[in-house]
A and B are shown apart, each in its own frame.
Chain A
Amino acid sequence: MATGIYLDFEKPVIELEKRIDEMREFASDENLELTREIRLLEHKLKKLRQDTFSQLTRWQRIQLARHPMRPCADEYIELIIDDYIALHGDRGFADDKAMIGGLGRIDDKPVLILGQQKGRTTKQKLLHNFGMCHPEGYRKAMRLMNLADRFGRPVVILIDTPGAFPGIEAEERGQAEAIAQNIRDMAALSVPVVCLIIGEGASGGALGVGIGDRVLMLENSWYSVISPEGCAAILWKDHPTPVQKAPEAAEALRPTAQDLKEFGIIDEILPEPLGGAHRNPEEQAKTIKRALLTHLGELSALPPAELQQRRHRKYREIGHFAE
């Protein structure tokens, strides 16, 4: 378990895990009876894990959402979807590898699944552009959603992006227009749509594939109008390194799953294994699969017109103002 890269606040936990592993190894190599000592340490570990992960700050959750070991969309697709066939391209310009998707089965039911793919290794990250879509990514997603719509297949979307790509080519090819079209056209879909934020839900980059009948979030994911870093850069313009203020910005923005559930913006928080999704991707995938089946089951019982009407009403009612 104690492999790979870890965050500062995870360190004591990881170190204790290492010590227990070493002690076990030592005991078996030397044929020593250390069961009592090991059990004591395991007890200590359990408590430490509880203390560390049960009261995470917003910034810590954001760090977990961006954890280098955090499972990406493709891993969940592999664990959840059977007989998956990846589909490519927007039929206009290119195949955006930051947006993956295809058809497959979830418990024998055919679905379209889409995911924003970040990649784990440096090579993968570059290939998938760190999960930052270009306009063709949003158009690819919409093309596939329209395909699903025509053939009555529900849509599942795994959202994980630090933002829509901010570059010259993205502007030239209409990043804003692509996102706007998706918002409008996803509203008109007649099949169930379930969105799940598995890591980062940064602003328009997430919303461009984020209009759903149900919107779910993993326990340690975030979703907001701007990243904490972006917010910090605006609020602390005069600070030499505004990035240092990101934890404060995270508190101000209230972007965690818990915040959004409290605001009534999302429908459900899916629990993560203690310490984060990366601690047990299989268990996480099972939780996700169960939730998807429940929501898809409920939504599939509704006639398309009612589904659409409810979706519209839900978004129509979001807002906080005095009259």
Chain B
Amino acid sequence: MEWFRKKKEPLVRQTKKEIPDGLWTKCKSCGEVIYGRELEQRLWVCPACGYHFRIRYNQYIELLLDDGKLEEFDASLTSRDPLNFKDRISYTERIRKSQAKTGLKDAIVCGIGRIGGRTISFGVMDFAFVGGSMGSVVGEKVARAIERSLERKIPLVLVCCSGGARMQEGIFSLMQMAKTGVLLSELKAERIPYIAVLTNPTTAGVTASYASLGDVIIAEPHAQLGFAGPRVIRQTIGQELPEGFQSSEFFLEHGFLDAVCPRRDLRHTVSLLIEYLCGPTSGVHETLKAPAPES
């Protein structure tokens, strides 16, 4: 790739704007223009500034799980419209459009996979589906993922990416925070580890429920994390927000994250954390095979 990189800079200066989609991508943080294939090889992280581009659910599955494989569960769950919510377009229509755009039924994909040779219950949210918002389907799928952990006594890993609870389902969305939180109390009592991985953004209702309840909580760098939206806070305090406010680094600084973890290290970190909490298993850490874990 080295020969190509040298050529890249003058090329960029000439083209300036209007880079065709897919071939070249401009970094949203530093403006660096990156060749698509290189970006993919670098796991969609800007080589110049380390900005983590938002990626889709399938990319996280590939990145985190052994052989990039997930046995998906509950794939057919879809939203209803309990409020008969009237928006510029109807909620039903919004869901239908989002399904067509993303190829997903809702904002999360859950199932059973393996990480470092160990079977886990896994869920990954997708921001492309109505901003990763949590309505009844997301709540139910997270609940079932927790239940799979409880039934099989396997660790839970959730990759969070969400703007919060889904407004169009009103009180039902709010109650998904309750549903997931209540089930996590059972996981806590059973001493089954839950690793929460926060990505850009994880805010509002999801942060105020399962995203903040991991036994260990890690986040990708520079993700937007927080409770209230920046606009609302700005209006409340009547002044500009400090730089880096509500970022992963801000969360780490204030004690609400265990670690900030670059994307390339996520798999290794999650796998190690589970090993430290559960004991080693066959597979990656064959050499460490000591007292066998209970399950």
Contacts and interface: CB of A to CB of B under 8 A. Distances in A.
Interface of A: 164-168, 170-177, 179-181, 183-185, 187-188, 203-204, 207-208, 210-211, 223-226, 230-231, 234-235, 252-255, 259-260, 263, 265, 311-312, 315-316, 318-323
A322 B80 contact: yes
B99 interface: no
Interface of B: 76-80, 82-83, 85-88, 136-137, 139-140, 143, 165-167, 169-179, 181-186, 188-189, 204-205, 207-213, 226-229, 232-233, 236-237, 241-242, 245-246, 250, 254-256
Contacts of B227: 164, 166, 170-171, 175-176, 179, 204
Given A204-B174, A204-B227, A265-B175, A185 B207 contact: no
Given A171-B245, A203-B165, A211-B178, A224 B171 contact: yes
Given A184-B184, A312-B183, A319-B179, A225 B170 contact: yes
Contacts of B76: 323
A187 B182 contact: yes
Contact of B212 (A181, A225, A253, A263): A181
B77 A211 contact: no
Nearest to A182: B181
29 contacts: A166-B227, A166-B233, A167-B233, A171-B227, A172-B250, A174-B256, A176-B211, A176-B227, A180-B213, A183-B178, A184-B181, A184-B185, A188-B189, A204-B177, A204-B205, A207-B178, A208-B208, A211-B181, A225-B174, A230-B232, A252-B83, A252-B85, A252-B87, A253-B167, A253-B170, A315-B179, A316-B183, A318-B175, A323-B76
Main secondary structure of the interface of B (DSSP, over half): helix
Contacts of B211: 176, 180
Given A180-B210, A204-B174, A226-B167, A322 B78 contact: yes
Contacts of B186: 312
B170 A184 contact: no
Contacts of A223: 171
B185 A321 contact: no
A183 B136 contact: no
B212 A176 contact: yes
Nearest to B137: A321
Contacts of A260: 171
Most buried by B among A181, A223, A253, A311: A253
A321 B188 contact: no
Contacts of A319: 136-137, 139-140, 172, 175-176, 179
Nearest to A236: B88
A61 B172 CA distance: 20
Contacts of A187: 181-182, 185
A252 B86 contact: yes
B175 A180 contact: no
A315 B175 contact: yes
B79 A321 contact: yes
Given A184-B181, A225-B174, 8 more contacts: A177-B207, A177-B256, A180-B209, A184-B185, A204-B227, A207-B174, A318-B172, A323-B77
Contact of B245 (A168, A183, A255, A321): A168
B56 to A, nearest CB: 22
Contacts of A175: 208, 227-228
Given A254-B83, A320-B82, A168 B175 contact: no
Contacts of B79: 320-322
A185 B170 contact: no
Contacts of B242: 168
A177 B217 CA distance: 11
B246 A312 contact: no
Contact of A174 (B80, B171, B228, B255): B255
Contacts of A207: 174, 177-178, 208
B212 A177 contact: yes
A223 B175 CA distance: 11
A283 to B, nearest CB: 28
B167 A210 contact: no
Given A171-B228, A204-B208, A316-B179, A254 B188 contact: no
B243 to A, nearest CB: 12
B227 to A, nearest CB: 4
Given A171-B228, A320-B82, A311 B182 contact: yes
Contact of B178 (A173, A210, A259, A320): A210
